């Protein structure tokens, strides 16, 4: 079997253009923060486009899930990481070659780069052999890398590189510096004088003392004196250095294309798994969702907003998980309840889960079934602007109209507080209209709203509310639960807390 990509099973898919710009809903769902965190420190791989490119083929999603599962084997994971580290070191060496001026320096860095590359390939081929692999992607790649490592081209490259490195390491020389004159000659193994001096004074040794050794700059380049010495050392070892010249001339294009592509693409998995490890360490769970492009009965248990959880864990705060499910004809989750109670977070979680699942990634939760959408739309309330009242309402309507006219029945729509900039009556009317269209199109939808009426529009809607601690309504639980919208009791308790109930307010008002 031939392999070209660890991200796509068929070559044709691999050629699918990578999306270079983040999808528009990324900012609303905080997916931009997630992808930033996932790809941090891996700029050289240019991974973001891989996260921007959505998939529409369940088979590719499974292909990726298999690879993720294989990589949960820590041994394999570490092997791949060590391969990646070597490839990174190799690139650094090549970059260094370009920066240097003197020929023998450039050549030595190049030689080391090839040495590291050989080691990386060999190590990977060797490491993959005993691993119990299940994914189609890894099985195919293992086969490829094994045959590459045994190819004549690679074997002779390796032998030549090793010998040259060993010969150079064995080359010794001696410097005699007196005044401003310097002699370069063969090393004649005179005794190490520092050791002798040290030994003489050994009897005075007491405890630990300060280290007076000076750390010299370890800059990779050379000054002209060093370069001159190196030229003389080359003259002391003429055969060795002419071998080095030949080697560099011959092996300019030593890299294998498939290995290089693997090196980049596998980072999609490594980066994401390392990101998830943060949550696992905090005791949160992730799972491989079931994906369907027909069944709209979706659910997730113990889900959470990755972007928010990432922040909370860094602040050592605890993360609240939430469940949701849609059964039978249910399509729309209407979320209401007190502000700052986690409603927006809940809506984002729903969107994040679907997006990440549909690029083949594991998602927060203990168990999940999600829907393979064709398009995802979000409409999030921006800063309220009273000056521009009419304009904003108009914008809202235009935008929601666009969403609904573009969407097919396989879309997902996430709406967060729309029509807040008009009268309640207007808002109820408009929302109902919008909801009717959504229901007609049979879209999956999460709608965060302050309008309780929306929660019980039809059999397609489900009401969920953010909750507070009963004894202290000012404390949020950040739990969103399936329950009829009951804004009233909450409103009373808040009023109580602020001593604004009927009796209290009467008491407070002075005669």
Which residues contribute to the site for another protein (CB under 8 A)?
96, 100, 104-105, 107-109, 112, 168-169, 171-194, 196-198, 200-201, 203-207, 209-214, 216, 220-226, 228-230, 232-233, 235-236
* CB of 220 or CB of 470, closer to another protein: 220
Minimum distance of another protein from residue 324's CB (angstroms): 55
**Residue given tokens 């009242």 in the structure block:** 389
CB of 37 to another protein, least distance (A): 34
Cβ proximity to another protein: between 112 and 396 the closer is: 112
Closest to another protein by CB, 248 or 412: 248
| Helix or strand holding residue 428 (H, E) | helix 424-441
Closer by beta carbon to another protein, 17 or else 224: 224
Q: Which helix (H) or strand (E) holds 467?
A: strand 461-469
Phi, psi of 294 (to 5 degrees): -120, -45
CB 102 within 8 A of CB 126: no
Are 442 and 329 in contact by the 8 Å Cβ rule? The answer is: no
CA distance 161 to 129: 24
Least distance CB 226 / another protein (angstroms):
7
What's the longest Cα–Cα distance across the chain?
109
Closer to another protein by CB, 105 or 336: give it.
105
Beta carbon nearer to another protein, 191 or 425: 191
Distance in Å, CB of 231 to another protein, minimum: 8
Distance CA 133, CA 9 (A): 16
Smallest distance from the beta carbon of 108 to another protein, in angstroms? 4
- Closest approach, Cβ 278 to another protein, in A, equals 35
CA distances in angstroms from 400 to 96, 346, 437, listed in the order given? 53, 21, 11
The Cα–Cα gap between 51 and 276 comes to 15
Total residues belonging to the chain: 511
Q: Give the 3-state secondary structure of residue 78.
A: helix
Buried b (16+ CB within 10 A) or exposed e, 421-458: bbeeeebbebbeebbebbbebebbbbbbbbbbebbebe
Cβ closest to another protein, residue 181 vs residue 506: 181
CA distance 154 to 156: 6
Q: What 3-state class would DSSP assign to 320?
A: coil
Residue 236 CB, shortest distance to another protein, in Å, is 6
Q: 207 or 283, CB closer to another protein?
A: 207
**Minimal distance in Å, beta carbon 222 to another protein?**
6
What are the φ/ψ torsions at residue 468 (nearest 5 degrees)?
-125, 165
Contact 154, 121 (CB under 8 A): yes
Q: What is the DSSP string of 356-422?
A: HHTTT--EESSEEEEE--S-EEEEE-----GGGHHHHHHHHHHHHHHHHHH--TT-EEEEES-STTS
For the CB of residue 161, give the shortest distance to another protein in the complex, in Å. 15
Is the CB of 99 or the CB of 153 nearer to another protein? 99
In the complex, least distance from residue 101 CB atom to another protein, rounded to whole angstroms: 11
By C-beta, is 210 or 510 nearer to another protein?
210
């Amino acid at each position: 079997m031939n392999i070209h990509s660890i991200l796509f099973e068929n070559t044709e898919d691999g050629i699918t253009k990578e999306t270079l710009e983040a999808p528009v809903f990324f900012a609303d769902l905080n997916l931009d923060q997630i992808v930033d965190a996932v790809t941090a420190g891996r700029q050289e791989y240019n991974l973001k486009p891989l996260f921007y490119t959505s998939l529409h083929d369940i088979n590719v999603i499974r292909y990726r899930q298999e690879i993720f599962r294989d990589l949960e084997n820590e041994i394999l994971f570490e092997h791949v990481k060590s391969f990646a580290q070597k490839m990174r070191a190799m690139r650094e060496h090549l970059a260094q070659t370009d920066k240097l001026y003197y020929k023998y320096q450039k050549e030595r860095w190049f030689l080391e780069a090839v040495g590291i590359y050989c080691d990386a390939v060999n190590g990977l081929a060797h490491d993959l052999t005993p691993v119990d692999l299940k994914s189609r992607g890894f099985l195919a790649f293992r086969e490829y890398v094994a045959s590459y490592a045994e190819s004549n081209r690679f074997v002779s490259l390796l032998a030549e590189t090793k010998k040259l490195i060993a010969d150079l390491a064995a080359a010794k020389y001696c410097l005699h510096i007196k005044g401003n004159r310097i002699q370069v000659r063969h090393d004649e193994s005179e005794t190490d004088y520092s050791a002798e001096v040290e030994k003489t004074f050994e009897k005075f040794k007491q405890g630990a003392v300060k280290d007076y050794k000076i750390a010299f700059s370890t800059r990779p380049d050379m000054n002209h004196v060093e370069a001159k010495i190196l030229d003389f050392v080359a003259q002391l070892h003429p055969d060795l250095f002419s071998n080095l010249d030949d080697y560099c001339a011959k092996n300019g294009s030593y890299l294998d294309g498939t290995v290089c592509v693997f090196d980049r693409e596998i980072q999609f998995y490594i980066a994401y798994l390392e990101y998830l490890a943060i949550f696992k360490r905090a005791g949160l769970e992730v799972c491989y969702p079931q994906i369907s492009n027909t069944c709209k009965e979706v659910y997730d248990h113990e889900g959470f907003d990755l972007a928010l959880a990432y922040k909370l864990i860094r602040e050592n705060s605890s993360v609240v998980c939430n469940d949701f499910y849609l059964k039978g004809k249910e399509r729309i989750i209407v979320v209401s309840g007190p502000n700052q109670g986690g409603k927006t977070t809940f809506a984002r979680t729903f969107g994040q889960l679907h997006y990440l699942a549909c690029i083949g990634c594991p998602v927060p939760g203990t168990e999940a079934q999600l829907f393979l959408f064709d398009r995802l739309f979000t409409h999030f309330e921006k800063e309220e602007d009273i000056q521009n009242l009419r304009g904003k309402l108009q914008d809202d309507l235009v935008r929601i109209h666009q969403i609904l006219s573009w969407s097919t029945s396989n879309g997902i729509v996430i709406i967060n507080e729309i029509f807040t900039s008009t009268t309640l009556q207007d808002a109820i009317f408009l929302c109902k209209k919008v909801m009717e269209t959504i229901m007609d199109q049979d879209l999956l939808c999460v709608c965060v709203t302050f309008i309780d009426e929306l929660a019980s529009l039809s059999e397609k809607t489900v009401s969920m509310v953010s909750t507070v601690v009963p004894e202290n309504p000012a404390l949020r639980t950040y739990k969103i639960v399936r329950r009829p919208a009951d804004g009233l009791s909450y409103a009373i308790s808040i009023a109580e807390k602020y001593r604004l109930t009927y009796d209290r307010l009467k008491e407070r008002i002075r005669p």
